C-alpha cells in the first residue's frame, strides 16, 4: 500500500507539472510561437519586431497570473504530501495493530476482496503511469523548445534594437561631414563667382583697348592714300572672321564634349557620393581654383605689362613709319599671301556650309520620318478600331448563333421525348438523327469560329500593344525633336555669344618673340599631358581589373548566399515540424485531460478502497482469534515474510533514492534543454538578423552592381574623353605647326620690314640731301607699314588666344579625370569595407550554428542517458513487483479459513 501511495503521489506531481507547463505554454509561449511561425520569412529587410508596451504589459500580467497558479499548485502538492504522510502513519498504525493482533485468536470472518482484482487495479495504475510518463516527457520537450524559441526571439529583438541604435549613431557621425561638404561647396561657388567677375573685368579692359583701336582707325582714315590698304585689310579681316568662325565651331565642339563629360561626372557623383571622397574632391577643387586664380592674375599682370610694351612699341613704330616708304612692295607681297589664305578660308567656309546643308537635310529627313511614323500610327489605330468593331460584331453574331443552337437542341430534345412517348418510329428517328448531326456540325463550326475569334482577339491585343509602343516611340521622337530644337537654339545663342566675344577680343596684341617661347612651352606641356593621359589609362585599366576581381568575389558570395538560402529552407522545414509538434501538444493536452478525469476516477476508487480497508480492519479484528490459533503454524511463514518485508523496504528505499536522483537529473536536463532552446532561439533570431543583413547586402550588391555599371560607363566616357583629348592633342599639334609656320612668315615679314626701314632711311637721307620733296609719300608708306604690323600682331594675338583655350581645355580634362579616379577609388574602398563586414558576419553566423549543433548533440546524449536510467528504474520496479508477488505467495501452508485474511494482511504492500 505504501508503494501504491508513492506511485499515486508521483502521478499527482506529474499531473500538476504538466498542468503548469500547459498553462505556461498557453499564456506565454503559444502567442510568441504563433507570431514567430506565422509564415515564411520575407526576403526584404524585416520590420521592427519590438512588441508594443501593451503587449509587454499583457505578458507581464500573464506571467504574474502564472506565478500565482504555480504557488497554488505548490500548496496543493504540499497538502497532498501531508495527506500521504497521514496515510503512511495510518498504515503503520494498522501494521502495528495487525502484528499485535496475531497473538489474539479471532473468529473467522467474511472473506476479503479478491487479490486478482487488486493486482489488475495495480497493473492499470502502472499502465496509466507509463502513459502519463510519456505525455509528461513530450510536454517537457515541447515546453523546453517553446521556451528556447521565446528566448531566441527576445535576443533577436535586442540585437535588432542594437543595430538600429548603431545605425542612428552612424547617421549622426555622417551629418557633420555632410555639412562640411556643403560648406566647402558653397565656398567653391563663391570662388567661381570671383573668377567670373575677374573675367568680366578682363573683357571690359579688352573693350577699352578696342575703343582705342577705333580711335586710331578714325585718325588713319584722314589720310586718303591708305584707302586701298584699308580695303585689303577689310578682306583680310573677313578671311580672319571666317577662320574665327571655324575655330569657334571647334571650340563649341570642345565645349559640348566638356559639357557631356561634366554631365556624366555629375550623374555619377549624384548616384554614389561618399563623404570622404567628396571632401577630398572639394579640397582638390579648391586648390585647383586657387591655382587657376593665381594663373589668371599672373596672366592679367603679364597682359598689362604687354599692353605697356605694345604702347611703347607703337610709339617706336610711329617714329619709324616716316622712314619706311619703300616697304610698299613688301606689303603687296603680304597682300598676295593674304589673298591666298583668304581663298583657303573661303574653301573651309564652303565645306562648313556643306556640313550645315547636310545637317539641315538630316533634320528634314528626320521630320519626314516622324510625320510618316505619325501617319502610320494613325492608320494603324484606325485599322485596329475597325478590326475591334468587326470582332465585336462577330462575337455578337456568335452569341446569337449559340442561343439559336441551344434553342434547336432544346427543341430536338423535346421532339425526342415526344417520339419516345409516341412510340418507335424509324423514319422520325432518322430525321432526328439527321438534325442531330446538323446541330453537331453547327456546334463544331461555332467552336471553330470561337477559336478564330480568340485568335483575332489575341492579335488585336498584340496590335494594341504595338500601337502603344508606336505611341511611345512617337512621344520619344517628339521629345527628341524638342531637345533638338532647344539644342539648336542654345547653339545659336552660343554662336552669337562667341561671335560677340571674338569681336571684342580681336584687338589683343602680343610680342612675336614671347609668343614663340610660349608656343614652345605649350608643346612641352602638351607632351606632358600626353604622358599623363598614358599614366591615367594604365590606372583605369588597373581599376578595371580590380572591378573584375570584385565581380568574381561577388559571384562567390552569391553562391554562398544560395547555400544559406538552402539552409533557410531547412529551417522552414523545421518550422513545419514545430507546427506538427504543436498539433501533437494539443492532442496530448486532450489526452492529459482524459487522464486527469481518469485520475479523479482513481481517487474515487481510492476512497472506496479506503472504505474497503476499514471493512478489512473490522474483518481483521474478527479474525484475530483465528490468527492466534495459527500462530504456531505460521511462525516460519512470519519469519519469511519479515525477511521479505525487510528486503522490500530496503529495495524500496533504494528505489526511492534513485527515483529522487532521477527526478533531480530530469529537472537538470529540463534546465539544460531550456538553456539549449533559449540559445537556439537566440541563434535563430541572429539568423533572422543575418537574413535581414543578407537581404540588405543583396540590395547593397545591387547598388554596387549599379555603381560598377556606372563605373564602366564612366570608364567608357573616360576613354572617349581620352580619345577626344588625343584628337584635341593632334589638332593642337597641327595648330602648333600652323602657328610655327605663321610665326616664320611673320618673322620673314619683319625682316623685310627691317630691310624696308633701312632702305627708307637711306632714301630719307637722300631726300634730305635733295631738299625733302617726298615727305607725303613717306608718310603714306609709314601708315601702310603700321597697318601691316598691326594686322600681323592681331593674327599673332588670335593664335595666342587659341593656344590659351587649348591649354585651358587640357587643364579641365586633367582635373575631371583626376576627380573621376578619386571617386572610383573611394567607391572601391567602400565596396571592400562592405565585403569585409559581410565576411565577418558570415563567420559569426557559422560559429553560432556550430555551437548550436554541439548543444543539440549534448542534449541528445543526455536525453538518451536519462531514457536509459528510466528504463533501469522501470526494470527495477518490475523486479520489486515480482519479488512482492513472490513474497506474497511464498508460504505453502495447507488451506484454512484464515488464509484469505493472511493474504489480505499482505495486500497493502502488494498494492
On the 0-12 / 13-18 / 19+ scale of CB atoms within 10 A, 70 is middle
Q: Indicate if the pLDDT at residue 423 is higher than 60.
A: no
What is residue 778's predicted lDDT score, i.e. its pLDDT? 61
Find the mean pLDDT for residues 476-504. 64
- Percent of the chain past pLDDT 70, that is, above it, reads 21
What is residue 240's predicted lDDT score, i.e. its pLDDT? 66
Alpha-carbon gap, residue 657 to 198, rounded angstroms: 103
Would you say the C-alpha torsion 78, 82, 88, 91 has a positive or negative sign? negative
| Per-residue pLDDT tens over the stretch 626-635 | 656 665 665 6
Q: Is the distance from CB of 292 to CB of 491 less than 8 angstroms?
A: no
| Per-residue pLDDT tens over the stretch 290-307 | 665 566 566 567 666 766
Find the mean pLDDT for residues 563-586. 65
| Per-residue pLDDT tens over the stretch 151-171 | 766 776 676 667 667 667 766
Q: Indicate if the pLDDT at residue 760 is higher than 70.
A: no
What is residue 39's predicted lDDT score, i.e. its pLDDT? 44
Q: Indicate if the pLDDT at residue 110 is higher than 60.
A: no
Confidence at 5, pLDDT banded by 50, 70, 90: low
What is residue 488's predicted lDDT score, i.e. its pLDDT? 63
What is residue 584's predicted lDDT score, i.e. its pLDDT? 67
Q: Is the distance from CB of 495 to CB of 252 less than 8 angstroms?
A: yes
What is residue 260's predicted lDDT score, i.e. its pLDDT? 62
Find the mean pLDDT for residues 461-481. 66
DSSP symbol at 424: -
What is residue 347's predicted lDDT score, i.e. its pLDDT? 73
SS3 content of the chain, % helix, strand, coil (to 5): 90, 0, 10
Q: Indicate if the pLDDT at residue 870 is higher than 50.
A: yes
Alpha-carbon gap, residue 907 to 901, rounded angstroms: 10
Q: What is the pTM of this model?
A: 0.22
Q: Indicate if the pLDDT at residue 890 is higher than 50.
A: no
Q: Indicate if the pLDDT at residue 48 is higher than 50.
A: no
Q: Is the distance from CB of 778 to CB of 764 less than 8 angstroms?
A: yes
What is residue 762's predicted lDDT score, i.e. its pLDDT? 72
Q: 748 vs 796, which has greater pLDDT?
A: 748
Find the mean pLDDT for residues 48-53. 45
Q: 787 vs 715, which has greater pLDDT?
A: 787
Q: Indicate if the pLDDT at residue 902 is higher than 50.
A: no
Highest-scoring range by mean pLDDT, 613-617, 731-735, 778-782, 871-875: 871-875
Three-state SS letters, 510-542: CCHHHHHHHHHHHHHHHHHHHHHHHHHHHHHHH
Three-state DSSP class for residue 191? helix
| Per-residue pLDDT tens over the stretch 381-404 | 777 777 667 767 767 776 776 676
Query: Exposed e or buried b for every residue in 284-313, given b needs 16+ CB within 10 A?
Result: ebeebbeebeeeeeeeeeebeebeeebeee
| Per-residue pLDDT tens over the stretch 716-729 | 765 676 666 567 65
| Per-residue pLDDT tens over the stretch 827-836 | 667 766 766 7
| Per-residue pLDDT tens over the stretch 539-555 | 656 666 666 676 676 67
What is residue 259's predicted lDDT score, i.e. its pLDDT? 64
| Per-residue pLDDT tens over the stretch 805-824 | 766 776 776 676 667 667 76
What is residue 244's predicted lDDT score, i.e. its pLDDT? 66
CA distances from 134 to 14, 138, 143, 581 (A): 11, 6, 14, 14
Find the mean pLDDT for residues 674-693. 67
When mean pLDDT is compared across 374-388, 407-421, 880-894, the lowest value belongs to 880-894
Q: Indicate if the pLDDT at residue 49 is higher than 50.
A: no
Q: Indicate if the pLDDT at residue 898 is higher than 60.
A: no
Confidence at 565, pLDDT banded by 50, 70, 90: low
Q: 801 vs 8, which has greater pLDDT?
A: 801
Of 815, 760, 632, nearest to 325 by C-alpha is: 760
Find the mean pLDDT for residues 67-71. 68
For the chain, the residue count is 911
Find the mean pLDDT for residues 667-686. 68
When mean pLDDT is compared across 61-70, 76-85, 418-427, 658-667, the lowest value belongs to 418-427
Find the mean pLDDT for residues 846-852. 70
* Cα dihedral value 366, 371, 376, 381, nearest 10: 130
Confidence at 683, pLDDT banded by 50, 70, 90: low
Q: 535 vs 38, which has greater pLDDT?
A: 535
Confidence at 872, pLDDT banded by 50, 70, 90: confident
Alpha-carbon gap, residue 389 to 386, rounded angstroms: 5
| Per-residue pLDDT tens over the stretch 305-343 | 766 766 666 676 566 656 655 555 655 665 666 567 657
Alpha-carbon gap, residue 393 to 187, rounded angstroms: 72
Q: Is the distance from CB of 236 to CB of 338 less than 8 angstroms?
A: yes
Would you say the C-alpha torsion 636, 637, 638, 641 has a positive or negative sign? positive
Confidence at 45, pLDDT banded by 50, 70, 90: very low
Confidence at 280, pLDDT banded by 50, 70, 90: low
Find the mean pLDDT for residues 408-434. 65
Give me the chain's average pLDDT, please. Answer: 65
Over its C-alpha atoms, the chain yields an Rg (Å, rounded) of 56
Amino acid at each position: 500500500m505504501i508503494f501504491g501511495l508513492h506511485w499515486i503521489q508521483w502521478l499527482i506531481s506529474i499531473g500538476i507539472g504538466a498542468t503548469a507547463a500547459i498553462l505556461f505554454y498557453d499564456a506565454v509561449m503559444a502567442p510568441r510561437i504563433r507570431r514567430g511561425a506565422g509564415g515564411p520569412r520575407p526576403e526584404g529587410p524585416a520590420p521592427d519586431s519590438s512588441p508594443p508596451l501593451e503587449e509587454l504589459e499583457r505578458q507581464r500580467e500573464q506571467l504574474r497570473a502564472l506565478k500565482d497558479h504555480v504557488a497554488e499548485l505548490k500548496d496543493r502538492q504540499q497538502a497532498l504530501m501531508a495527506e500521504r504522510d497521514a496515510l503512511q502513519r495510518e498504515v503503520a498504525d494498522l501494521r502495528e495493530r495487525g502484528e499485535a493482533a496475531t497473538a489474539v485468536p479471532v473468529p473467522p470472518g467474511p472473506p476479503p476482496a479478491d487479490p486478482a482484482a487488486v493486482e489488475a487495479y495495480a497493473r492499470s495504475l502502472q499502465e496509466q503511469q507509463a502513459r502519463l510518463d510519456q505525455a509528461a516527457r513530450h510536454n517537457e520537450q515541447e515546453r523546453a523548445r517553446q521556451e528556447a524559441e521565446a528566448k531566441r526571439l527576445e535576443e533577436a529583438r535586442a540585437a535588432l534594437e542594437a543595430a538600429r541604435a548603431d545605425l542612428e549613431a552612424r547617421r549622426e557621425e555622417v551629418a557633420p561631414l555632410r555639412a562640411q561638404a556643403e560648406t566647402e561647396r558653397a565656398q567653391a561657388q563663391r570662388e567661381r563667382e570671383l573668377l567670373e567677375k575677374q573675367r568680366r573685368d578682363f573683357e571690359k579692359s579688352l573693350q577699352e583697348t578696342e575703343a582705342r583701336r577705333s580711335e586710331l582707325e578714325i585718325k588713319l582714315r584722314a589720310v586718303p592714300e591708305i584707302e586701298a590698304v584699308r580695303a585689303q585689310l577689310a578682306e583680310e579681316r573677313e578671311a580672319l572672321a571666317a577662320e574665327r568662325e571655324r575655330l569657334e565651331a571647334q571650340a563649341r565642339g570642345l565645349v559640348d564634349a566638356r559639357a557631356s563629360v561634366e554631365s556624366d561626372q555629375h550623374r555619377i557623383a549624384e548616384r554614389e557620393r561618399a563623404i570622404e571622397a567628396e571632401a577630398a574632391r572639394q579640397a582638390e577643387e579648391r586648390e585647383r581654383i586657387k591655382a587657376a586664380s593665381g594663373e589668371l592674375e599672373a596672366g592679367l599682370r603679364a597682359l598689362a605689362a604687354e599692353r605697356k610694351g605694345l604702347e611703347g612699341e607703337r610709339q617706336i613704330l610711329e617714329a619709324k613709319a616716316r622712314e619706311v616708304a619703300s616697304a610698299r612692295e613688301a606689303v603687296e607681297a603680304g597682300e598676295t599671301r593674304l589673298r591666298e589664305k583668304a581663298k583657303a578660308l573661303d574653301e573651309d567656309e564652303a565645306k562648313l556650309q556643306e556640313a550645315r546643308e547636310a545637317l539641315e537635310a538630316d533634320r528634314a529627313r528626320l521630320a519626314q520620318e516622324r510625320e510618316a511614323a505619325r501617319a502610320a500610327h494613325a492608320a494603324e489605330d484606325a485599322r485596329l478600331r475597325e478590326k475591334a468593331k468587326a470582332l465585336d460584331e462577330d462575337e455578337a453574331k456568335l452569341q446569337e448563333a449559340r442561343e439559336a443552337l441551344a434553342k434547336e437542341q432544346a427543341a430536338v430534345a423535346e421532339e425526342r421525348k415526344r417520339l419516345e412517348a409516341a412510340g418507335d418510329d424509324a423514319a422520325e428517328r432518322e430525321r432526328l438523327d439527321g438534325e442531330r448531326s446538323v446541330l453537331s456540325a453547327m456546334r463544331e463550326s461555332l467552336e471553330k469560329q470561337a477559336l478564330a475569334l480568340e485568335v483575332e482577339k489575341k492579335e488585336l491585343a498584340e496590335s494594341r500593344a504595338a500601337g502603344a509602343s508606336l505611341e511611345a516611340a512617337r512621344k520619344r521622337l517628339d521629345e527628341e525633336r524638342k531637345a533638338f530644337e532647344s539644342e539648336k537654339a542654345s547653339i545659336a545663342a552660343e554662336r552669337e555669344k562667341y561671335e560677340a566675344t571674338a569681336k571684342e577680343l580681336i584687338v589683343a596684341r602680343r610680342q612675336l618673340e614671347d609668343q614663340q617661347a610660349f608656343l614652345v612651352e605649350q608643346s612641352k606641356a602638351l607632351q606632358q599631358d600626353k604622358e599623363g593621359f598614358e599614366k591615367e589609362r594604365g590606372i583605369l585599366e588597373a581599376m578595371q581589373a580590380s572591378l573584375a576581381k570584385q565581380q568574381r568575389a561577388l559571384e562567390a558570395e552569391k553562391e554562398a548566399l544560395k547555400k544559406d538560402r538552402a539552409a533557410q529552407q531547412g529551417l522552414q522545414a523545421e518550422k513545419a515540424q514545430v507546427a506538427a509538434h504543436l498539433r501533437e501538444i494539443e492532442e496530448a493536452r486532450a489526452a492529459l485531460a482524459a487522464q486527469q478525469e481518469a485520475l479523479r476516477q482513481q481517487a474515487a476508487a481510492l476512497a472506496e478502497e479506503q472504505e474497503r480497508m476499514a471493512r478489512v480492519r473490522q474483518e481483521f479484528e474478527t479474525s484475530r482469534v483465528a490468527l492466534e490459533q495459527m500462530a504456531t503454524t505460521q511462525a516460519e511463514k512470519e519469519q519469511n515474510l519479515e525477511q521479505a518485508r525487510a528486503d522490500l523496504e530496503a529495495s524500496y528505499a533504494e528505489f526511492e533514492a534513485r527515483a529522487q536522483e532521477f527526478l533531480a537529473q530530469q529537472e537538470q536536463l529540463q534546465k539544460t534543454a531550456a538553456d539549449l532552446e533559449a540559445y537556439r532561439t537566440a541563434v535563430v533570431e541572429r539568423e533572422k538578423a543575418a537574413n535581414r543583413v543578407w537581404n540588405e547586402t543583396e540590395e547593397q550588391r545591387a547598388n554596387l552592381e549599379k555603381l560598377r555599371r556606372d563605373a564602366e560607363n564612366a570608364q567608357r566616357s573616360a576613354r572617349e574623353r581620352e580619345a577626344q583629348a588625343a584628337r584635341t592633342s593632334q589638332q593642337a599639334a597641327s595648330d602648333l605647326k600652323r602657328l610655327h609656320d605663321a610665326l616664320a612668315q611673320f618673322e620673314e615679314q619683319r625682316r623685310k620690314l627691317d630691310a624696308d626701314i633701312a632702305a627708307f632711311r637711306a632714301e630719307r637721307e637722300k631726300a634730305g640731301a635733295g631738299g625733302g620733296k617726298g615727305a607725303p609719300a613717306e608718310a603714306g608708306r609709314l601708315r601702310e607699314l603700321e597697318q601691316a604690323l598691326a594686322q600681323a600682331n592681331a593674327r599673332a594675338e588670335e593664335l595666342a588666344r587659341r593656344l590659351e583655350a587649348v591649354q585651358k581645355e587640357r587643364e579641365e580634362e586633367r582635373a575631371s579625370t583626376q576627380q573621376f579616379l578619386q571617386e572610383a577609388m573611394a567607391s572601391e574602398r567602400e565596396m571592400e569595407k562592405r565585403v569585409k563586414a559581410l565576411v565577418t558576419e558570415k563567420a559569426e553566423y557559422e560559429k553560432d550554428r556550430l555551437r548550436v549543433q554541439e548543444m543539440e548533440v549534448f542534449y541528445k546524449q543526455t536525453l538518451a542517458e536519462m531514457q536509459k536510467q528510466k528504463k533501469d528504474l522501470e526494470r527495477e520496479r518490475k523486479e520489486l513487483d515480482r519479488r512482492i508477488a513472490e513474497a506474497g505467495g511464498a508460504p505453502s501452508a495447507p488451506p484454512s479459513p484464515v488464509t484469505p485474511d493472511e493474504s489480505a494482511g499482505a495486500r497493502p504492500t502488494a498494492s
